[in-house]
Amino acid sequence: MTEDELIATYPRLYHMAHDGAWDAIRSNGLMSTAALLDAYKVIDPRRESLFSKRRPESVPLAAPGLPGAVLRDQKPMHDSALAGCLDDGLTRQQWYELLNSRSFFWLSKQRVWRLLKAKAYRGVKQTVLTIDTAGLVNAHKADIWLSPINSGSTLFKPQRRGLQTFKRVVDFPYAERRKSRTKENNVVELVVDHMVPDIADHVLAVHSVRNDQILGEIWRSPTATEADKP
């Protein structure tokens, strides 16, 4: 897949954050778990627990001079199921560390709404960012990976995952997968190593969302269109 194909096929990306997260994201960037643990100076043994193991619940972080932050729970993951679908000799700890070292984006609205309506998040207000794919890809092309699966879930029938799950854009077999998959199920995730410090430059709109409803618009870029929403 080329970068031009990625941008043309998936012109918008989406990220779901906790309610009230936009001000901190706009000021400090979109941080992975690893980046947040660095910024908030979380050290072992707490750091190991949050970085290398499943988080059954969301975890608030606080530090002098920094806004409050939340590490998203990993409820869609289950240790026993994860152990059964890992390849390449990876351990559960290594998979959690891989996920926690990156920032994640959905490439379809359908995936966002599916997550919003999932049992774990149903009824809880969330903040959804709509992002310009071209801007983010052009700014961070060296740090971008694509995934063909929801790498943070082992619900239902867990898909195999390993060292080859995340591929660089040029190595992703989009054309081959297109023969048997819809656009939504072809490229499922776009991830960026560590963090996206300039995410505010690429965000087109920010909405408050709960269940299957958009509750309101929090922020909108002058370059956004009416279609820029989850």
Q: What is the DSSP string of 35-52?
A: HHHHHTT--TTHHHHHHH
Question: How far is it, in rounded angstroms, from Cα 205 to Cα 189?
Answer: 19
User: In this predicted structure, what is the pLDDT of residue 121?
Assistant: 87
Per-residue pLDDT of the chain (230 residues; tens, 9 = 90+): 999 999 999 999 999 999 999 999 999 999 999 999 999 999 999 999 999 999 999 999 999 999 999 999 999 999 999 999 999 999 999 999 999 999 999 999 999 999 998 888 888 999 999 999 999 999 999 999 999 999 999 998 999 999 999 999 999 999 999 999 999 999 999 999 999 999 999 999 999 999 989 999 999 999 999 999 99
Cis amide linkage into residue 197, ω under 30° from 0: no
Whole-model pTM over 0.75: yes
Sheet holding 189-193, edge to edge: 144-147, 189-193, 102-106, 12-18, 126-132, 203-210, 213-220
Angle at 59 between CA 165 and CA 144, to 5 degrees: 30
Total residues belonging to the chain: 230
Question: How far is it, in rounded angstroms, from Cα 185 to Cα 89?
Answer: 26
Tokens of 206: 């920010």
User: Cα dist. 53→50, 93, 137, 174, 188 in Å?
Assistant: 6, 6, 30, 32, 23
Tokens of 199: 């995410």
User: Cα dist. 33→68, 118, 191 in Å?
Assistant: 14, 22, 13
Question: How far is it, in rounded angstroms, from Cα 196 to Cα 27?
Answer: 11
